[in-house]
Structure 1
Amino acid sequence: MKTIVLLLAAGSGKRFGSDIPKQYLDVAGEALILHTLRSLSVEPRIQAVLPVLAPHDERFRDIVAGQVFPFELIAPITGGKERSESMMRGLQAVPESFELVAVHDAARATPSAALLKDVLDQAEAHGAAVPGLAVVDTIKQVADNGQVVSTLNRGTLRAVQTPQVARRDWFIEAVRREADRLAEHTDDASLLEAAGFPVMISQGDVNNRKITTQHDMHWLEQRLTGQREDESMGMNLRIGQGFDVHAFARDRALMLGGVRIPSELGLAGHSDADVLIHAICDALLGAAAMGDIGHHFPDNDPAYKGIASGKLLVAVMRDVHAAGWHIVNVDATVIAQKPKLAPYIQSMRQSLADLMGVSFERINIKATTTEKLGFTGREEGMAAQASVLLTA
């Protein structure tokens, strides 16, 4: 679908503590807003960007002079005092030929290619989507006097980001329905929700951080500088390895890679004991420097009793993506004397690709024996090892 970005850049910089609006401050050698525009340029479906600026803003024109982008940079329009007003004015200026409108904060300089792809995919499929991150801290609702009223279920909470994307006609109708309450909506998703339109959550990214404070700017400077150093040295990659072992047990299903394998014996364990998925989880967590599977899913926690390991893999992938990492490839080996696994390799590859949200070609699985040596050779159990390559 033909997509345009409303780039909201009408802030004055007063809350940031600068005479110059933060979007125009130099970071890693150039204005923050240029980093934002370059990040948006990696998504081919973005065909135009419409900047929404403060009155009498001449800095933007000077900063983008001579710059070349793969999308059309439409002549800026003037925004309002509040974000909602800027968004409404931008929406009114969007040409009718565009089907999707993505509203993005200029102060979020580093939306990843994966984040942009996922939010546009979700918006195309469902009509509206916003990137969101799982909330990791316990959230308390408090009264005006500071007393705790309740503890919210963080499993149902998401911290949302931009770009927030919806069909152009949905945004227009939402603005019409909520015209008297626009200022009450702190983001574009809440406007859509109040107007009765469903909004999906796509995958967010911890590195898609809104620059609000001096500390945030320092973080961005370090990230962009470090990213350039890594790229110049070919080091924006991380490798992880994982290993797992489970003993055979009767009256248990044998699960490998999320696929049930015909066998008289299964594997003993607190979960479904999918030794292959456990090794891959450890490799992913290792590559992302996030510890190991036992730390994230303790084997004495009743919440994980009998759980399908595929659910653990999905949770690990969510955390890895949230940290800004994406899979290049996975190579894994199952070590077992029996049963013969060759007939199930392709099914396991497809199952893992589906669970991890990557293409089939990025997953490789091998099976081998130990020539009857060791505990696997004595048919006492199975082992698996995995290597994962991640990129930022």
Structure 2
Amino acid sequence: MSDLSLVLLAAGSSSRFDMSAKKQWLRINHTPLWQFVADNFKKSKKFAQIVIVSSKDDIEFMKAYAEYTFVEGGTSRQQSLKNALKVVESEFVLVSDVARACISSELLQRITSNIKSFDCVVPYLTVTDTIVYENRTIDRDKVKRIQTPQLSRTSALQSALESDKEFTDESSAIVANGGKRAFVLGDEDAHKITFAHDLNKLPCLVPPSNDTLSGNGFDVHAFDTQGEMFLGGVKIDVEYGFVAHSDGDVALHSLIDALLGAAGMGDIGMLFPDNDERYKGVDSKELLKQVVIKLYNYGFIIVNVDITIAAQKPRLSQYKNEMKKVIADILQIEKSRVNVKATTTEKLGFIGREEGVGVLANANLKYFNWKNIG
């Protein structure tokens, strides 16, 4: 079927998942789950277009991984789907959830070979247990466990979603709107990831790579004749500060760049532009906290960091231990995994002339190992 698009829903917050990493960012070897699912669909060569629906915060990072069409999601699954359909031009659309990770070619063929006489084709599983509804045993042969992906006529789905009522799947909306639905046998291996223990039910998923990802950051700031000085999240007892848009904590700025570099997430200026008034005078510890949240959400863990502060002045030996503690608390790692060094430049260059401070930072990350959970 050439006139077919895929919409892959990956905008959820993973609120029931109970992990620091969002499930769409769990790594399958090196590949995030959302891309793993999209790439497997792409191998079928059935789709003229593949649309990934993502949260606003994730879209730019997703673009660094793959060349798909990305659309910002809404506040509900239904709104996210409506947003995606605005860019779909094909007669038919297959809608799936990134949490439905193991879709076999056989299941995909069963779904896509039976659309012409219907408005929606739905995979289902039978029920083998006794079913009781409101204290009444009902005929289990009449009960179906509905799965995704679901194949719909694009026009029928768009019309059905105009309703103000929220539906949990596409076929329910289409049937409520007067459309015709067909059922095909689903697949037990197409189990949906809702909770952490669901990962153990999916045979197509391999553990994340054990590679170490390294990044470095470098930053400098000139001294100001006034203000306060913060380095490594610690207030330094001097009567001058840094020329900067934020609080000028050059050590934390360098560390942020090292962490972003290891994760392939760009640099501090991309996340916190120095022409944005929201960050004027901001505490750099708060910026670092935001970066750490992103790292954990995107499926990384922080292994260790190493920071070298080059300063002819001020003297920093008495502050290094406090810096380590502050940084370790923010990174959520042991203090022993944070190293802070201070050195001079033997009075050479702008640092040696006591005009400012330069900092070099290195960071190492690994992927969150979901195989150890559940």
Task: Tell me the TM-score normalized by structure 2.
Answer: 0.52
Q: What is the CA-CA distance between 1:175 and the residue it aligns to?
A: 1.9
Alignment of 1:9-48 (within 5 A): 9-48=10-49
Q: What is the CA-CA distance between 1:140 and the residue it aligns to?
A: 1.0
Number of positions where the alignment pairs a residue of Structure 1 with one of Structure 2: 205
Q: What is the CA-CA distance between 1:29 and the residue it aligns to?
A: 4.5
- The amino acid across from 2:62 in the alignment is F
Map of 2:85 onto structure 1: 91
Is the contact between residue 19 and residue 196 of structure 2 (CA under 8 Å) also seen in structure 1? no
- The amino acid across from 1:170 in the alignment is A
Map of 1:130 onto structure 2: 122
Map of 2:107 onto structure 1: 115
- CA gap of 1:63–1:19, structure 2 versus 1, over 3 A, is farther
- CA gap of 1:223–1:7, structure 2 versus 1, over 3 A, is closer
Q: SS of the residue aligned with 1:93? A: coil
Measured in 2, the distance between the counterparts of 1:204 and 1:100 equals 20
Query: Paired residue for 1:224, among 183, 192, 205?
Result: 205
Query: Paired residue for 2:66, among 31, 55, 64?
Result: 64
- The amino acid across from 2:46 in the alignment is R
- The amino acid across from 1:139 in the alignment is I
Q: What is the CA-CA distance between 1:34 and the residue it aligns to?
A: 2.5
Map of 1:82 onto structure 2: 76
- The amino acid across from 1:172 in the alignment is Q
Q: What is the CA-CA distance between 1:136 and the residue it aligns to?
A: 1.5
Q: What is the CA-CA distance between 1:121 and the residue it aligns to?
A: 1.2
Map of 1:172 onto structure 2: 158
- The amino acid across from 1:134 in the alignment is T
Is the contact between residue 132 and residue 202 of structure 1 (CA under 8 Å) also seen in structure 2? yes
- The amino acid across from 1:87 in the alignment is L
Q: What is the CA-CA distance between 1:94 and the residue it aligns to?
A: 1.3
- The amino acid across from 1:11 in the alignment is G
Q: What is the CA-CA distance between 1:219 and the residue it aligns to?
A: 3.1
Measured in 2, the distance between the counterparts of 1:20 and 1:61 equals 19
Q: What is the CA-CA distance between 1:28 and the residue it aligns to?
A: 4.4
Q: SS of the residue aligned with 2:56? A: coil
Q: Which has the higher contact order (CA 8 A, sep 6+)?
A: 2
Query: Paired residue for 1:104, among 80, 96, 115?
Result: 96
Task: Tell me the TM-score normalized by structure 1.
Answer: 0.50
Measured in 1, the distance between the counterparts of 2:170 and 2:35 equals 23
Query: Paired residue for 1:157, among 137, 143, 157?
Result: 143
- CA RMSD across the alignment: 1.9
Q: Residue deviations 1:246-284, cap 9 Å, x none?
A: xxxxxxxxxxxxxxxxxxxxxxxxxxxxxxxxxxxxxxx
Unaligned 5+ segments in structure 2 are: 208-374
Is the contact between residue 189 and residue 201 of structure 2 (CA under 8 Å) also seen in structure 1? no
Q: What is the CA-CA distance between 1:223 and the residue it aligns to?
A: 4.2
Q: Residue deviations 1:134-170, cap 9 Å, x none?
A: 111111103xxxxx1x112111221111111111111
Measured in 1, the distance between the counterparts of 2:170 and 2:25 equals 24
Measured in 2, the distance between the counterparts of 1:139 and 1:59 equals 44
Is the contact between residue 24 and residue 59 of structure 1 (CA under 8 Å) also seen in structure 2? no
- The amino acid across from 2:40 in the alignment is S
Q: What is the CA-CA distance between 1:204 and the residue it aligns to?
A: 0.5
Q: SS of the residue aligned with 1:206? A: coil
Is the contact between residue 78 and residue 161 of structure 2 (CA under 8 Å) also seen in structure 1? no
Percent of paired sites with the same residue: 30
Is the contact between residue 6 and residue 104 of structure 1 (CA under 8 Å) also seen in structure 2? yes
Q: What is the CA-CA distance between 1:124 and the residue it aligns to?
A: 3.1
Measured in 2, the distance between the counterparts of 1:151 and 1:122 equals 33
| 14-23 or 201-210, larger mean C-alpha shift | 14-23
Alignment of 1:133-212 (within 5 A): 133-142=125-134, 148=135, 150-176=136-162, 178=163, 180-181=164-165, 183=166, 185-212=167-194
Map of 1:383 onto structure 2: none
- CA gap of 1:154–1:59, structure 2 versus 1, over 3 A, is farther
Q: Which has the larger radius of gyration?
A: 2
Unaligned 5+ segments in structure 1 are: 66-72, 143-147, 227-392
- CA gap of 1:213–1:27, structure 2 versus 1, over 3 A, is farther
- The amino acid across from 2:111 in the alignment is V
Is the contact between residue 97 and residue 149 of structure 2 (CA under 8 Å) also seen in structure 1? yes
